[in-house]
Structure 1
Amino acid sequence: MNSETTGNNMRLKGDLSLFSVVLFGLAYISPGIVVTMFGVVAATSGGVAPTAFAVATLAMLLTGLSYAKMARAVPGAGSVYTYARKMLDSRIGFLSGWAMLLDYFFIPMVGWLITAIYFNAQFPAIPKWVWLIVSVGITTAINVFGMKLADRVNKVLMFIALGSLVLFATLCVVFLGKHGSSAPVTDALWNSGTSIGAVTAAAAIAAYSFLGFDAVSTLGEEARGGARTIGRGIIGCVIAAGAIFIVLSFVMQLVHPGATFVDVDAAAYHLKVLVGGETYAEMINFVTIAGSIASCIALQASAARLMYVMGRDGALPKAVFGKLSGKTGTPVLNLLLTAAAGVIAMKLDLTTATSFINFGAFLGFALVNVCVIAHLVRERRDGRTPNLFSFLVMPAIGVGVSLYLLTRLDDVALQIGGVWLAIGVVYLAVLTKGFRRPAPEMTFDDDTAVTDRATA
């Protein structure tokens, strides 16, 4: 990462191309997630996983367009929290940050659950809950001692993952060439066992696969062309990820028609055995496990960093959350809290776990679209006239789609999300003395030397 110094200010050089920006977004999303999520999405949709992924792609594209607009309007900000704070109100911004905390706090739990599922598929004699605790223990120990591993490993594993996806898709095509599909090709897109409700419910789950595309907005200072490149990068990332998800899920749905699986969560492993044999499945499974562990390191570190920043800035109790260990320079208590949350996954399946993570994501996506509309109002007030279709109609549709997908989450997800949001409102009322003063500001870009240690 290059930098240049002007006077006393250090800024990162704008040397990232559009291709590099899109690649960064894909690395954060981890396209291989489509293989893991296939069984859950196919079962929920009634056997039309590619259709569900297509709906999710369109929904994410609407929000991606809004992210691109906000990246240009608020260069370098890079989060729904900042957009909402600047365009709407500090208290709304705080609640969007609170919703984001739900994502960050529990996303590692999903990563650990996925890792445990793959471990259990490889070694079925050992219960899934044992592998869950092992996964939590490994990543927490690494993060507590501050080993700088996640970033380098994830970059390498992205190329390995993309290569393994191409190999898997090729094996699926070869299998279909030899054996054909036991159902008509069109059944993978729509069949008598599905419905609009089932597809949208599956799309709400499939949207989890896209989480992270908005991370592209954090590269504003490093991208050639600045905000313009970031905007294109966000859209390119969503389209590229969506194309991978749709194509691969379509091939997988042809290999395994319908919505019935022996084990929905481990459907991907069994498909790998079917098309490539036991040896191939085990080899790829180990690659997936390694990638999952590396991903969990990064996810847990990010969650701990967010809690540390919120504690440091007074949005959470500073004495508890705003401290770094004197020995390791890491937010140990925050890491242990995320580890404790990860153990909850012993009582959850993959469908439920991803669903209530998406509660916070969909709220955040809805708010980004609202921020675009608020930006339009400000621009018109200042005498400028942005395109109404682009800045009003499309984001309004984005709000509607995000909120609709939110309602398609299961009851447990809605209950957990609702309780979390209610706690945030009560806490905000205390912080702002009954909403009478602005909420504390979370300065995500300050003290980078310290927070980088927190994410080591």
Structure 2
Amino acid sequence: MADNPVKLTASLSLTSVVLFGLAYMAPSLVLVIFGVIAQGSAGTAPSAFLLATGAMLLSALSYAKMARLFPVSGSAYFYARQMLGGQLGFLVGWLVLLDYLFMPMVAWLVQSVFLHVQFPGIPFWGWMLVNIGLTTLVNVLGLSLADRTNKLLTGLGLALVLLFVVLCLIHLLHQAPVSLTAPLWNASSTFMGVSAAAAVAAYSYLGFDAVTTMAEETRDAKRNIPRAVVLVMATAGLLFALVAYIMQLVHPGGVFEDAQTAAYLMSIEVGGQVFADWLNLGLIISGFASGLIVQLSTSRLLYFMGRADILPKTFFGTLNPKTGAPVFNLLLTAVIGLLGLNLTLEMATSFINFGAFLGFTAVNLCVICYYYRARRRERLGLVSYLLFPLLGMCVNLYLVSQLSATAIVIGLCWLALGVVYLTWLTRGFRQPAPDLRP
């Protein structure tokens, strides 16, 4: 069968890509997890977020370096193939695939849980079908519509978060003076407590790497994708820390009646019940953008793997001639998303963290390998190309060690399945792994 003549078109601007990355990470997430982070850090949530931002920024810098060298849509999958060799590269891609395949399901699951709480008259499974159906429809209709929809919804989410911050500041003006340094460090703070909370907060940063899957659809990708990776991480991290700081001023300390509903109760305190309800609904609506972009990036990674003959090309490596979208891949992710009907949020999340953090580890290792290969012909900084990636590897391996036993078992089983598949592809390792063509 002849190769599909339709190709990805470079149409996205730097702004669009950055907004895609922010939507993936869901800036409003800080409101959802604030109470948990504040409780774990003894009232120093912004410090925990800043520490998590610095730790994950190490991996973001490594992604930026690789994206500048290889501006193609394969992300960690392609970087590892180039730097670590075909077989290890395949296994890295296989691990990352675990993250990408189930991340849309998690996004839809979270969205449906919140919608069901807000509108209990519609069953949870009904909201799952609505979320999966609408997201898939927008993505099938093409990148242009997805871009416009994302800008609108992400803008709405950011506006609501900033409105909440403004109301918090107005509330503080009418309260007794509070300590401006206590949210960063107080008498109850310990480094172990803050670092433990930072480890939990780090899971909120999953997705900064997703923009690299859109390299072939971004104008001047060699320049814009590296910038987008760092901008997404830095913007989200600073936003998380700033919002957490203001919230910690409104509610000093880490004691809550219910840490999971802390932000909702705080929104009632600063804006009243009506504002709290509208804020909750608005953040749910803006969360649709996260599911949209998660599914979009997953479909691009599957397309790249299909185009490279790792997955069946006739299904995974084709684009719709009218919209330029990998329709089969989008439909597959929609079907996988239906698995969320029978899973808890905790179980679904455990599917993705193992692959994500090992993928980050591999990209840091790729930068180190590039340093040793190219240091004699290029002037590469020892700190930037060796020390930072090494620290990034340590951070991610530590985060893997903190996963639940269930998550690790699922991840290892997935890895074992990948080894079996690689054995079949290479005819018992007698042939090289398929070549990944950009």
**Same fold judged by TM-score > 0.5?**
yes
Residue 200 of structure 1 corresponds to 195
Contact 1:200 1:408 in 2 (8 A): no
SS of equivalent to 1:94: helix
Residues 1:265 and 1:420: Cα distance change in structure 2 (over 3 Å): farther
Residue 54 of structure 1 corresponds to 50
- Unpaired segments of 5 or more residues in structure 1? 1-8, 446-456
Once the two structures are TM-superposed, the CA of residue 318 in structure 1 deviates from its matched residue by 6.5
Matched, 1:106 2:141: no
Residue 275 of structure 2 corresponds to 280
Counterparts of 1:180 and 1:29, CA distance in 2: 35
Which amino acid in the other structure matches residue 113 of structure 1? L
CA offset digits 1:113-165 (Å, max 9, x no partner): 33234324424x569xx33x223201333356534554322111122222111
Q: 2:114 aligns with which of 105, 113, 118?
A: 118
Contact 1:108 1:342 in 2 (8 A): no
Which amino acid in the other structure matches residue 147 of structure 2? D
CA offset digits 1:351-400 (Å, max 9, x no partner): x65455232221111111111111112113x6444222221122111111
Counterparts of 1:236 and 1:288, CA distance in 2: 22
Contact 2:25 2:207 in 1 (8 A): yes
Q: 2:26 aligns with which of 24, 30, 55?
A: 30
Once the two structures are TM-superposed, the CA of residue 229 in structure 1 deviates from its matched residue by 4.5
Identity of aligned residues (%): 44
Contact 1:52 1:199 in 2 (8 A): yes
TM-score (norm 1): 0.80
Residues 1:117 and 1:273: Cα distance change in structure 2 (over 3 Å): farther
Residue 129 of structure 2 corresponds to 137
Residue 6 of structure 1 corresponds to none
CA RMSD of aligned residues (A): 3.6
Residues 1:201 and 1:358: Cα distance change in structure 2 (over 3 Å): farther
Contact 1:307 1:334 in 2 (8 A): no
Counterparts of 1:418 and 1:340, CA distance in 2: 23
Residues 1:397 and 1:143: Cα distance change in structure 2 (over 3 Å): closer
SS of equivalent to 1:179: coil
Which amino acid in the other structure matches residue 388 of structure 1? L
Q: 2:340 aligns with which of 333, 342, 345?
A: 342
SS of equivalent to 2:327: coil
Which amino acid in the other structure matches residue 382 of structure 2? L
Greater CA drift, 264-273 or 60-69: 264-273
Alignment of 1:195-274 (within 5 A): 195-217=190-212, 218-219=214-215, 222-223=218-219, 227-274=222-269
Residue 285 of structure 2 corresponds to 290
Residues 1:422 and 1:204: Cα distance change in structure 2 (over 3 Å): farther
SS of equivalent to 2:431: coil
Counterparts of 1:324 and 1:236, CA distance in 2: 30
Residues 1:115 and 1:261: Cα distance change in structure 2 (over 3 Å): farther
- Unpaired segments of 5 or more residues in structure 2? 1-6
Matched, 1:160 2:156: yes
Once the two structures are TM-superposed, the CA of residue 89 in structure 1 deviates from its matched residue by 1.0
Residue 327 of structure 2 corresponds to 330
Matched, 1:431 2:425: yes
TM-score (norm 2): 0.82
Residues 1:98 and 1:270: Cα distance change in structure 2 (over 3 Å): farther
Contact 2:83 2:366 in 1 (8 A): yes
Residues 1:301 and 1:134: Cα distance change in structure 2 (over 3 Å): farther
Matched, 1:440 2:434: yes
